[in-house]
Amino acid sequence: MSVLYEIRDGVAIITLNRREAMNSLNPETREGLSAAWRSVATDDAVFCAILTGAGDQAFCAGADLKAMMPKESVAELKFGGKRLPPLLAGMDMDKPIICAINGYAMGGGMELALACDIRIASENAEFALSEVRVGSIPGAGGTQRLPRTISQSDAMLMLLTGDRVAAEDALRMGIVSKVVSLSQLMDTAIAIASRIARNAPLSVRAIKQLVREGTGIPLDRALALESHVLGILRDTEDRAEGRKAFREKRSPVFLGR
* Rounded Cα–Cα distance for residues 251 and 241 (Å): 10
Active-site annotation, residues: 111, 131
Residue 32 sits at φ, ψ, to 5 deg, of -65, -40
Q: Which residues pair with 11 in a beta bridge?
A: 8, 48
Contact 159, 131 (CB under 8 A): no
* Rounded Cα–Cα distance for residues 117 and 138 (Å): 19
Please classify residue 178 by burial: count the beta carbons closer than 10 Å to its beta carbon, then call 0-12 exposed, 13-18 middle and 19+ buried. Answer: middle
- The residue type of 192 is I
Contact 25, 65 (CB under 8 A): no
Where helices occur in 73-198 by DSSP H, the ranges are 74-79, 108-114, 142-149, 152-161, 167-173, 185-197
Strand duo 165-166 + 118-122: pairing: unpaired
Contact 62, 105 (CB under 8 A): no
Residue 48 sits at φ, ψ, to 5 deg, of -160, 155
What is the DSSP secondary structure assignment for residue 12, as one 8-state letter? E
* Rounded Cα–Cα distance for residues 55 and 58 (Å): 7
Provide the total of helices (H) and of strands (E) in the chain, helices listed first.
Answer: 10, 10
